């Protein structure tokens, strides 16, 4: 089991957002996940919907690569 390092900072290495349609609705919803948690890079993706009249419409998706960096600052 890995232990949490309080000096670990995440930096966005790559970010891609695809807008599929306008977000017209009353309630946005999103779901995201980590595809691969690596030592140096963490691969993530998400999907975003909007709810209108009990109907979900997929409006965007994204993928990101986060780089892990050890901060030199002490809290």
Kindly give, in sequence order, each residue whose CB lies less than 8 Å from that of residue 32, ignoring residues fewer than 6 positions away.
Answer: 44, 45, 46, 47
User: What confidence tens digit (pLDDT) does each residue in 7-60 have?
Assistant: 888 899 999 999 999 988 888 999 999 999 988 999 999 999 999 888 899 999
42 - beta bridge partners?
37, 66
Burial class (CB in 10 A: 0-12, 13-18, 19+), 17: exposed
* Residue with tokens 């089991």, as numbered in its chain: 1
Rounded mean pLDDT, 54-73: 90
pLDDT in the model for residue 4: 63
pLDDT in the model for residue 53: 84
User: What's the pLDDT band for 1 if we cut at 50, 70, 90?
Assistant: low
pTM of the model: 0.76
Sorted by where each begins, the domain ranges of the chain are: 15-36+43-66
């Amino acid at each position: 089991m890995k232990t949490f390092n309080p000096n670990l900072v995440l930096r966005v290495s790559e970010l891609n957002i695809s807008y599929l349609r306008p977000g017209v609705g009353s309630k946005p919803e999103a779901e995201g996940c980590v595809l691969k948690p690596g030592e140096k890079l963490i691969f993530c993706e998400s999907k975003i919907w909007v709810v209108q009249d009990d109907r979900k419409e997929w409006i965007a998706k994204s993928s990101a690569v986060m780089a892990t960096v050890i901060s030199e600052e002490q809290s």
